[in-house]
C-alpha cells in the first residue's frame, strides 16, 4: 500500500520519497486477510489508514538499522527482515486507533 524510495549520494542517504497508493488502499478494504481486518476494525476513514501506512514507511525511511539492512539485502544478498520493525510501528498505530474508538 506504500513504498519508500531511498536516494543515496555515495553511502549517505540524501532523501526519501514516501508514496502511498490510495487506489490500492481502497481495494485493500475488500480483501479478507488478517491485516485487512485490522484496518477495518481500527480505522474510520482513509486518512487514518494512510497515517498507519505512513508510519510504516517512515520507519523504512528513518531507522538507521533498517536502512543499513535494506542496503545489505540489495548489495550483499542478505535476508534481513526489514519489515519487522515497520510492521510493529504500523500495528501500534492501528492499536491506538482501535483503543481510541473502543474505550470502556
pLDDT digits (tens, 9 = 90+) for 30-87: 899 999 999 999 999 999 999 999 999 999 999 999 999 999 999 999 999 999 999 9
At residue 28, the pLDDT reads: 87
Q: Which residues contact 24 (CB under 8 A, 6 or more apart)?
A: 1
What cell was used for 48? Answer: 487514518
Phi, psi of 83 (to 5 degrees): -100, -15
pTM of the model: 0.90
pLDDT at res. 11: 83
Pairing of the two strands 2-9 and 12-20: antiparallel
Tell me whether residue 53 is exposed, middle or buried, using C-beta atoms within 10 angstroms of its C-beta: 0 to 12, 13 to 18, 19 or more: buried
Amino acid at each position: 500500500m506504500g513504498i519508500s524510495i531511498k536516494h543515496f549520494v555515495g553511502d549517505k542517504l540524501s532523501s526519501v520519497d514516501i508514496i502511498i497508493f490510495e487506489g490500492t488502499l481502497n481495494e485493500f478494504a475488500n480483501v479478507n486477510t488478517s491485516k485487512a481486518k485490522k484496518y477495518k476494525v481500527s480505522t474510520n476513514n482513509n486518512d487514518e489508514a494512510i497515517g498507519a501506512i505512513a508510519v510504516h514507511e517512515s520507519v523504512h525511511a528513518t531507522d538507521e538499522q533498517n536502512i543499513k539492512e535494506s542496503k545489505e539485502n540489495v548489495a550483499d544478498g542478505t535476508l534481513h527482515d526489514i519489515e519487522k520493525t515497520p510492521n510493529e510501528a504500523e500495528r501500534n498505530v492501528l492499536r491506538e486507533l482501535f483503543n481510541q474508538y473502543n474505550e470502556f
